[in-house]
A and B are shown apart, each in its own frame.
Chain A
């Protein structure tokens, strides 16, 4: 599998270490008031750390170029075929997110823990 590094060009995947879904970049925040986390906050953090979409299809994932320039990359790859669609520096992805936050101003990290129907999928981001 070849990853086309934005700065260094095509590199073998074995030069990298795989972390997982790039959603892990979007860490839940601590309560703004500085109070200790409540049950809901703990639930949100649990879901962030332990639950995954794990799609059979396109996945945005984090790769660390351990044997190269030690940069983090966000790779968009189809998990059914291993075909890579896009490779970006994680720094650029993070900067882009910071430049255009969620439209209604609410954190796009505030996924409800468990919904009334028993499912735990996050609300679709607006």
Chain B
């Protein structure tokens, strides 16, 4: 069924009883060409692009829970392509371009809103860093504008310009960045993939890998064995748990990241604003709540919840940036499981085991990467060669001396 304004009218006039399920709930087949482990944003996007770009339709996505229950349903919705490293920035710019055409491609309203992102800077050194980053963005074909203090004030007059401790010196503005409705991204990719013949298998946890002569030939699941020519894992925070089933250790630690939403407020924050003197980011959803977050709690966790000291730190940063939010009530907070890598950058790579592919290490930045991750992972799975924007995202890059370390903090996952 194609969604359209006409369809809404037609269905509305006939009691809305004609809508069809967005995706089927098939029984698992005995074998597929590709089994994707993980039905999050990246897994579903991978299935969609395998079918659309490479004509590979015999695909199953094994999701241990329900579509949308993982990080795809928990993130702070930010989309941007403002990275520094040449091994990263072209990839994220590819992702933004895919975002720009996504709703037409998927025939689904993902509410992608290019409302812009403003990174504040608070010192000369930070401004110099932003000049460098802006140039890297321009070199990748992305848009970037450097603003001085007056420019930031015109854009966001409600920020704390009197703050003597964290004076606002200027900012880096990317107009094409923005936010999207994260649930809709999952549903849109699921529906589009399903329409192309992909089997979405919910409540189908992968409990093991089938190996024959050192080659991965399928998966063991809660709903039985499924054979496959290729198995592609993308399970974010569960990466270590799943790859352990194949005897692999990863350069990843799983950490909790908390996120917060305030009560609904009148439209005040038009785009995404990030704090330069700490780790804090905020935007305003269309329901009016401020959606914001900051640092990791800092310790390994699979609990999907954090502790109060971090909540206090994030709210303190909110007050340092925009004191007007002080009276707003916090509506809800939650946590997710972040696959923090040793350099803060992701992996889209084959493993040492033929037939087994790995995609992970997205840290807390996986949402914006959803389209490009799916696109590049599908490319790797289908052709066994990396996409040109993802050639640096290798599992062995620490051994080969080519880490993708955006903030230069070294092999300490909780600092990235």
Report chain A residues within 8 Å CB of B59. Answer: none
Name the interface residues of B322-357: CB closer than 8 Å to any CB of A: 342, 351-354
Bitwise interface map of A from 43 to 65 toward B, beta carbon under 8 Å scored 1, else 0: 10011011111111001010000
Instruction: Tell me if A114 is interfacial: C-beta within 8 Å of chain B.
Output: yes
Name the interface residues of B346-377: CB closer than 8 Å to any CB of A: 351-354
Q: Which residues on A are within 8 Å of B, measured CB to CB? A: 1, 12-14, 17-21, 42-43, 46-47, 49-56, 59, 61, 77, 79-82, 114-121
Report chain B residues within 8 Å CB of A80. Answer: 302-303
A79/B247 contact (C-beta < 8 A), A46-B398, A54-B240, A120-B352 known: no
Report chain A residues within 8 Å CB of B398. Answer: 46, 49-50
Report chain B residues within 8 Å CB of A79. Answer: 254, 300-303
Find out whether the CB atom of B411 lies under 8 angstroms from the CB atom of A50: yes
Report chain B residues within 8 Å CB of A12. Answer: 309
A20/B300 contact (C-beta < 8 A), A13-B307, A49-B411, A54-B253 known: yes
Find out whether the CB atom of B214 lies under 8 angstroms from the CB atom of A117: yes
CA–CA, A103 and B251, complex, Å = 29
14 contacts between A and B (CB under 8 A): A13-B307, A20-B253, A50-B251, A51-B250, A52-B251, A54-B241, A54-B249, A77-B299, A79-B302, A116-B214, A117-B214, A118-B354, A120-B247, A120-B248
Question: Which chain A residue lies CB-closest to B214?
Answer: A117
Partner of A1, one of B247, B250, B307: B307
Q: Which residues on B are within 8 Å of A, measured CB to CB? A: 211, 214, 238, 240-241, 244, 246-254, 298-303, 307, 309, 342, 351-354, 398-399, 411-414
Find out whether the CB atom of A20 lies under 8 angstroms from the CB atom of B413: yes
Chief secondary structure at chain B's binding surface: loop
Nearest-neighbour CB distance to chain B for A120, whole angstroms, equals 6
Partner of A117, one of B247, B250, B309: B247
Report chain A residues within 8 Å CB of B252. Answer: 52, 54
Partner of B247, one of A17, A46, A50, A121: A121
Identify the interface centre among B246, B300, B309, B398: most chain A CB within 10 Å of its CB: B300
Find out whether the CB atom of A56 lies under 8 angstroms from the CB atom of B241: yes
Find out whether the CB atom of B246 lies under 8 angstroms from the CB atom of A119: yes
Find out whether the CB atom of A121 lies under 8 angstroms from the CB atom of B307: no
Nearest-neighbour CB distance to chain A for B211, whole angstroms, equals 7
